[in-house]
Amino acid sequence: MTYFEGSFSKLKMTDQLADLQKASDNDLFETEFLKKSIEAYRLALLSNVKYSFSELYHSGTWQKYEKRVAALARKHPSRDPFAAYLSRTRNDDWRGANSRQSYRSALVRLAAQMVLEVAPSFWRYVLVKTTDTEARYQLVRQLKRHLDEEAWCQVKTVTAAFSGDDLKKLRGAVAFLIQVPPDPEHTAVRRLSTNGPKKSSKPRTENSKKQTLYALNQHQRRRTKENPRYDWRDHFWQRAVLADRYIDDYRRACIAVLMLTGCRPSEVSDDLGVVIRAFERDGENRLAFEISGAKLAKADAEGHGKGQERRWIEVCCQTPEAHWLFAHVSDHCDDQMNIRLVAPTHSQTGLALMPTERQRRVTNSLGKLLERLGRVAFPRLQHRLSPYVFRHALSSDFRSGGGRWSSEEIATVLGHQSTRTQSNYGSANTSRGLAGSRAVQIVQVSALNPVRSSECGPPGGPDRPRPA
């Protein structure tokens, strides 16, 4: 039985009383533990405020939680993931705040599920075991005072058996939830900084992507002293992407899309995809991209959602990868091409993979490919080239354009519904004064949803065309 299955044999409650006789003789009926179980039940409900258990399962997050819990359990002598987490926290044995937060979120949901499933059986057992009428009446009053109608109905109708193992699980889950309360926004630990440097030698944060872009731009500034026309993205495309005999044209087209549009790597997966159309207008070769967005969230009560479900970008071909992509789509794909990288539908154990897990695998695959190509193009680079570096680079090109593009239009290109989010991508000073901007060839952008402005005044129109 896994930690997340939580299924119990349906036996009559009276047949299981002997299993708990020793526990009841000690502290089973302590008022303090009863209060703690009720408080833990309230905290377990709080953990479901943003995402329910079913939503986590269908999104693939539940499977990730299972893996994290199992990994923690393997590292503890008693196979107790709660104790393993608390021990590592006391010893500050975490790679970073994000790593600690991911394990914390998984264990909180595990503890919440245990409490929600086992607590009603425990309360029913306590009532059955209490022989004194007055004491039982007081217990009923106490439970009714703290539980809602649905929870009390569970207590009255529960048929699940209650055993010593269930009591042990409940005690561990209750203690952990009270000590580590739910954090629906998953930010409690991320606000704290861990002591000492990270143990991982590879940069993994947003700052590392900005540092990679900064290092590449510094490299370009040094090279332009000898060759004023040098551009690191042109060099990467010609020296690594085109010259690599192990990459097929489909992968080259995928890399070109990342460089030209700054889209997320998950957006080229087969669950989403990018549609490319090649055409001529006013004697110029142009590419139109239709991108199905990732990282979406439903609109709240005020109608504010997260992420653009669909956006369109039109490019006037001026850079090497744009010219190559136009020729490839025109000559081989009848002027239209769909970019959809295929990910496995099932794991090696036969478990069906959720869309988010499939998109994650596409992102990892592209990350490994670009890291290898980055080492070919820039052998002295101390940072790891990743798909998001091109996203940061395009954002920097837009923001250093001297006000040519509004914040709403930049948010549209990046697939955001708010201008506030773009502050995490690139910097106005990073690409200033450098040749090779990819933003100058983008002539028109639009999106399915309007962009919310975080500044005062009415938002600009993201659908306004720009001159070539």
pLDDT given for residue 237 in this prediction: 95
Give yes or no for a contact between 362 and 268, defined as CB atoms under 8 angstroms apart. yes
pLDDT given for residue 118 in this prediction: 85
pLDDT given for residue 4 in this prediction: 36
Structure tokens of 411? Answer: 């948010």
Tens-digit pLDDT profile for residues 383-433 = 889 999 999 999 888 888 755 788 888 888 888 888 877 777 767 667 777
Its pTM stands at 0.59
- E strands, 379-432, are none
Mean pLDDT, residues 353-373:
90
- Distances 85 to 33, 43, 46, 110, 198 between C-alpha atoms, Å: 22, 19, 21, 13, 18
pLDDT given for residue 294 in this prediction: 85
Q: What is the C-alpha separation between 402 and 398, in angstroms, rounded?
A: 8
Mean pLDDT, residues 453-460:
52
Residue 154's identity, in one-letter code, is Q
Give yes or no for a contact between 68 and 103, defined as CB atoms under 8 angstroms apart. yes
Range with the lowest mean pLDDT among 152-166, 228-242, 265-279?
152-166
Mean pLDDT of the chain: 80
Give yes or no for a contact between 16 and 161, defined as CB atoms under 8 angstroms apart. yes
- Distances 365 to 63, 216, 260, 342, 397 between C-alpha atoms, Å: 20, 22, 19, 11, 26
Burial of 396 (0-12, 13-18, 19+ CB in 10 A): buried
Mean pLDDT, residues 306-316:
89
What is the band of 196 on the pLDDT scale with cuts at 50, 70, 90?
very low
Give yes or no for a contact between 123 and 115, defined as CB atoms under 8 angstroms apart. no
Give yes or no for a contact between 276 and 325, defined as CB atoms under 8 angstroms apart. yes
What is the band of 300 on the pLDDT scale with cuts at 50, 70, 90?
low
Give the three-state DSSP class for 147: coil
Q: Which helix (H) or strand (E) holds 447?
A: strand 442-447
> Of 233 and 33, which is predicted with more confidence?
233
Mean pLDDT, residues 234-245:
93
Give yes or no for a contact between 45 and 117, defined as CB atoms under 8 angstroms apart. no
Structure tokens of 389? Answer: 């570096």
pLDDT given for residue 189 in this prediction: 74
Tens-digit pLDDT profile for residues 327-336 = 999 988 788 9
Mean pLDDT, residues 275-284:
92
Q: What is the C-alpha separation between 157 and 124, in angstroms, rounded?
A: 9
- By C-alpha distance, which of 116, 133, 144, 138 is closest to 53? 116
Range with the lowest mean pLDDT among 5-19, 216-230, 384-398, 449-463?
5-19
pLDDT at 102 over 70: yes
